[in-house]
Chains A and B, each alone.
Chain A
Amino acid sequence: MDVLIYLIPIALLLGLFGLAAFLWSLKTGQYDDLEGAKWRILQDDDLPERKGPKQSGNRPSQ
């Protein structure tokens, strides 16, 4: 079972990557608005919309 000497530290290192990723997501403020984050997934604002002149009070109807 000598292989354990380096397999286990490798497993721990991978776990550390996961921890680092979580801490990064925390730092960039992804937990500040969990309700909003749920719903922004469904937003279509990355689709190219029909561009018209900017009008006030007009919502593009979809």
Chain B
Amino acid sequence: MTVHERDWQSFVVPGKDGALHMDLAVEGVTCAACMMEIERGLGALAGVRNARLNLTSHRLAVDWEAGEASPQAIVDRLSRLGYTAHPFDPAQVRDRTDGQGRELLRSLAVAGFAGMNIMLLSVSVWSGNASDITPETRDFFHWLSALIALPAAAYAGRPFFRSAFSAIRARRLNMDVPIVIGVFLALALSVGQTIERADHAYYESAVMLLFFLLIGRYLDHGMRRKTRSFAENIAALKADTAARLMPGGEVREVPLSKVSPGDRVLVRAGERVPLDGVVEEGASEIDQSLVTGETALKAIRAGEPVYAGTLNASGSLTVKVTAASGGTLLDEVNRLLETAAQAKSAYVRLADRAAGLYAPVVHLAAGLTFAGWLISGAGWQPALVIAISVLIITCPCALGLAIPAVQVVTSGLMFRAGVLLNAGDAIERLASVDTIVFDKTGTLTLASPEFVNPGEIANVVLDKAGRLALSSRHPLAQALARASRADTPYAGCREVAGGGVSAIDGSGREIRLGSAAFCGIDQAAVDRALARFPAASAIVFRDGTGETHILPVEQRLREDARETAASLREAGYFLEILSGDREGPVAAIAEALGIQAWKAGLTPTEKIARLEQLKAAGHKVLMVGDGLNDAPALAAANVSLSPVTAVHVSQAASDAVFLGERLRPVSDALAIARRAHGAMVQNLWISALYNVVAVPFAVAGFVTPLIAALAMSGSSIVVTANALRLRLGSAQAGDRG
């Protein structure tokens, strides 16, 4: 974005005792020293009462006296210390106190306390049964166990009861139903045995089962929370904003919550419409698939309504806002995390199907075991005990937990590396890639706002070109807009994919900005003009009189592009560059990065043809690109990545986006995906083997309820720990913050 006037009031909330409070997502936190530096540095600012950095979620909570310090001063101090901070829109931050995690920990504590104390009594009874315990003592211990177990199980089992009952009400069976039945039966049987003054009771099995399962649930919840908080951080970093048109015609970036009905916003080609409204000026096509599911583009003219979340395809629009409703990125990210992403993955579908079949099979197996033992002559109590063991040991938690656990940890690792996943099965596809195709502009390079020949361009030309450039999101145009410091866009611009942007200027003539072909001059003229700057890219401006000006913009490579390219080559990937730019800059960059295969001057269709060629040769292709040029190519590759500076259209077409100014996230994402894929396969094997071995043992009567409880929860924990192991390996990869 070219203008950065931020409105702070929308990010500040009242704190305790008259102070003001703000939450920020901080980039660049790598270790504990950062935490101390930040807290000390901010604490030294006059007026700041309290600054506390949460090292787990990289969020900073600041309290200051109203009037004595300002949010801008705080962010400035942070950037002087070397950290970029982005404030959270308070309306978007999910509960800061994590109520669900606390409830799990409370249940865990109660189950642990109860379980250990019951074990104390049970072990005494077991050893006493083998020697000389008197019936009175045994009864006393059993009654005490009942007194501890029943309230504890009722309290600690609430998460399971809730889940099981809601499933039953929806006429389904989920993983928690066998658990609840098993716990209930074990406790009921134990109470019955206690009343009859029998030798054995099973209180410890029921409560220990709950204890170990709660450990697994808490770990799982912790993973998801970490992933979600990283996602929220990223949404804050991307600063969901709208480009509001001020009364004088200038455009200013404001957070979405500060736009009220009646305001006018500018929606450029390729951007998402931020809020519901009516088109005032401009004509374009709208992609409504995000909202209505219709993929056909709908033509839009002045006077027609547009809705938040839809994509503006070809022309810039001035929209008068009618409703300040949502459709923000954070909502989308959360939705992805919770539902859509999981549903598409083939492994998840497999695990879901297995878990769906499993519950009925489990109950059937337990029932058959009971009947079988009863028929073969055992009493109904021993038969019931064996049936309970079967019910408990055959829980499909391992299968239902295996894939989601890995997916959640992987999403978290990806976020930490600066990669946001857009598709649930992106992980598997990334893991199978062997060829990487890069675009040049905006992907391998960053457009710097410096002209190579600033003195040679007339100011009036620069101003006009800059104003036109405001309506385009192409990196070269953005660089031009920044360099010219223009802030008043033309109304009603049209953008042509692969060409440029055009508008009618104040005197009614058409002006154009874009490629040489788009502005009506041939490539040779451009090459001549740029003979002095072989590595520069050209953007051509044609003003109303038909005069063309060739503006060279220098691009610099991303700072770690060389190392990333080298490490990708070492890892065995084939690298290629496909670009629509002139040969000169592409050749220079290919040489700098050591990439042999490159093609320049390609049209979008030619890029797709090359991708099809590679795919036909049996390669699995990852396409990394941005800009209107690449959206179709991104969809044509096996899997695609876009830098977050890309137009929203490309982001919607790509499987993942990466943030920041470095290229490293690309190689990190590939490495993480490969390891995650391995972990998924391992987990599936572990779950399958466990069930195949454990169930026959239980049916044959070799397993007591306690052992069944330990085995079942053990398998869940092993699978979850295997997923968490992914995080250990990445710890050395370095925290991007």
- Interface residues, chain A, CB within 8 Å of chain B? 1, 4-5, 8, 11-12, 15-16, 18-19, 22-23, 26-27, 29, 31-36, 38-39, 42-43, 45, 54-59
Say yes or no: B36 contacts A43, CB within 8 Å: yes
The closest CB in chain B to the CB of A34 belongs to B56
Say yes or no: A26 contacts B54, CB within 8 Å: no
The closest CB in chain A to the CB of B148 belongs to A12
B467 CB → nearest A CB, Å: 38
Residue from A8, A22, A42, A55 within 8 A of B32 (CB atoms): A42
Residues of chain B at interface, number, CB under 8 A? 34
User: B38-46, B367-375, B597-605: which lies at the A interface?
Assistant: B38-46
**Complex CA distance for A1 and B141, rounded to whole angstroms:** 13
Say yes or no: A57 contacts B80, CB within 8 Å: yes
Which residues of chain A come closer than 8 Å to B55, judged between CB atoms? 33, 35-36, 39
Is B521 engaged at the interface, CB distance under 8 Å to the other chain? no
The closest CB in chain A to the CB of B103 belongs to A26
**Complex CA distance for A27 and B106, rounded to whole angstroms:** 9
Which residues of chain B come closer than 8 Å to A45, judged between CB atoms? 40
Say yes or no: B37 contacts A59, CB within 8 Å: yes
Is B158 engaged at the interface, CB distance under 8 Å to the other chain? no
The closest CB in chain A to the CB of B116 belongs to A15
Say yes or no: A58 contacts B44, CB within 8 Å: yes
Chain A binding surface, main DSSP class: helix
Which residues of chain B come closer than 8 Å to A34, judged between CB atoms? 56
Say yes or no: B113 contacts A19, CB within 8 Å: yes
Say yes or no: A59 contacts B41, CB within 8 Å: yes
Which residues of chain A come closer than 8 Å to B97, judged between CB atoms? 29, 32
Q: How many A-B residue pairs have CB under 8 A?
A: 71
Say yes or no: A56 contacts B56, CB within 8 Å: no
Is B144 engaged at the interface, CB distance under 8 Å to the other chain? yes
Which residues of chain A come closer than 8 Å to B113, judged between CB atoms? 15-16, 18-19
**Complex CA distance for A12 and B652, rounded to whole angstroms:** 59
Which residues of chain A come closer than 8 Å to B120, judged between CB atoms? 11
**Complex CA distance for A33 and B55, rounded to whole angstroms:** 6
Which residues of chain A come closer than 8 Å to B37, judged between CB atoms? 59
The closest CB in chain A to the CB of B96 belongs to A32
**Given contacts A4-B137, A23-B109, A57-B80, A39 and B56 within 8 Å (CB-CB):** no
Say yes or no: A4 contacts B109, CB within 8 Å: no
Is B117 engaged at the interface, CB distance under 8 Å to the other chain? yes
Which residues of chain B come closer than 8 Å to A19, judged between CB atoms? 109-110, 113
**Complex CA distance for A22 and B107, rounded to whole angstroms:** 12
A40 CB → nearest B CB, Å: 8
Say yes or no: A12 contacts B117, CB within 8 Å: yes
Is B614 engaged at the interface, CB distance under 8 Å to the other chain? no
Is B8 engaged at the interface, CB distance under 8 Å to the other chain? no
Is B53 engaged at the interface, CB distance under 8 Å to the other chain? yes
Say yes or no: A1 contacts B137, CB within 8 Å: yes
Say yes or no: B41 contacts A39, CB within 8 Å: no
**Complex CA distance for A55 and B41, rounded to whole angstroms:** 10
Which residues of chain B come closer than 8 Å to A56, judged between CB atoms? 44-46, 77
B617 CB → nearest A CB, Å: 47
Say yes or no: B56 contacts A22, CB within 8 Å: no
Say yes or no: B140 contacts A4, CB within 8 Å: yes
Which residues of chain B come closer than 8 Å to A4, judged between CB atoms? 137, 140
Say yes or no: B148 contacts A22, CB within 8 Å: no
**Complex CA distance for A16 and B77, rounded to whole angstroms:** 48
Which residues of chain A come closer than 8 Å to B172, judged between CB atoms? none
The closest CB in chain A to the CB of B134 belongs to A1
Across chains A and B, which 4 residue pairs bring their CB atoms closest together, nearest first?
Answer: A39-B32, A36-B55, A35-B55, A33-B54
The closest CB in chain B to the CB of A33 belongs to B54
Interface bits B101-122 vs A (CB < 8 Å: 1, else 0): 1100110011001001100110
